[in-house]
Amino acid sequence: MTEQAQRQQLVEVARCLNASGLNQGTSGNLSVRIPGGLLITPSSLPFEQMEPQDLVAIAASGKPLEAAAGQRRPSSEWRLHADLLASRPEIQAVLHCHSIHATALACHGRPIPPFHYMTAVAGGDDIRCAGYATFGTAELSALAVQALDGRLACLLAQHGQVTLGTSLDQALRIAIEVETLAQMYLQALQLGEPPLLSAAQMAAVHQQFRSLHYGACA
């Protein structure tokens, strides 16, 4: 895929993120891997107004890959994206959003446990919640990298959710699933703590996912 095609796809997925209700205003950010660094959404620009030329190509250090007049500033969360891509060479896309139900759980520092088999979609038995750190900091990046070790999704305490994918489409699908699971879990908690699937039951789910090329394997 050419960089121009990546720019167009990133804009389309960003707009879908807001249209689906997963994100609001300018709070989310997305990135894809490109030669020499990453392509990321700009700071403080609503997705509905964003065009392919507004995306910012940066190195892992945060510096622009090419100096251009009128170039926008990258998202304040560029470090989170750069560090995740650097730590996971198999990953091509990072998506961060403030979806309502996932963020509600994150505000309590609660992971999503294996109350439903679809928690396996993120590659593990549960969906972890990383500890709190100020947005845009190296500390936040380090906590997210740790929480995403071997996984494709995590919550960020008092912040939101992050998903990874071998494509933007996969990262978006997982973000939608995480938000759906968060909403179901919050509903289930109204009747008390729901029973959880055992490690053996979740192992069978992972095996079924692998045999069907489903979930984290998609």
Task: Identify the three-state secondary structure at position 52.
Answer: helix
* The pLDDT value given to residue 45: 92
Which amino acid appears at position 200 of this protein? A
Contact 176, 91 (CB under 8 A): no
Would you say 169 and 13 are in contact if contact means Cβ atoms under 8 Å apart?
Answer: yes
pLDDT at 69: 63
Burial class (CB in 10 A: 0-12, 13-18, 19+), 108: exposed
98 touches 23 (CB < 8 A)? yes
Candidates 48, 77, 90, 193; catalytic one: 77
Backbone angles phi, psi at 133, to 5 degrees: -155, 155
How many CB atoms neighbour CB 10 within 10 A? 21
Structural domains of the chain, count? 1
State pLDDT tens for residues 191-208.
Answer: 999 999 999 999 999 999
Give the pLDDT confidence score for residue 120 in this predicted structure: 97
State the pLDDT at residue 218: 41
Please work out, in degrees rounded to the nearest 5, the angle formed at the alpha carbon of residue 3 by the alpha carbons of 62 and 137.
20
**pLDDT in the model for residue 10:** 96
Spacing of C-alpha 3 from chain mean position? 21
The answer to whether residues 18 and 48 touch, using CB atoms and an 8 Å cutoff, is yes
> Hunting for tokens 């995590």 — which residue is that?
154
Q: Report the CATH number at residue 191.
A: 3.40.225.10
Q: Is 77 a catalytic residue?
A: yes
SS3 assignment, position 174: helix
Cα–Cα distance for residue pair 40/187, rounded to 1 Å = 34
Per-residue confidence in pLDDT tens, the chain, 218 aa: 899 999 999 999 999 998 888 988 788 999 999 999 999 999 989 999 999 999 999 999 999 998 766 789 999 999 999 999 999 999 999 999 999 999 999 999 999 999 999 999 999 999 999 999 999 999 999 999 999 999 999 999 999 999 999 999 999 999 999 999 999 999 999 999 999 999 999 999 999 999 987 755 44
Task: Quote the domain boundaries for residue 198.
Answer: 3-217
The pLDDT assigned to 215 comes to 59
C-alpha span between 139 and 145 (Å, rounded): 10
Angle among Cα 31, 68, 52 to the nearest 5 degrees reads 40
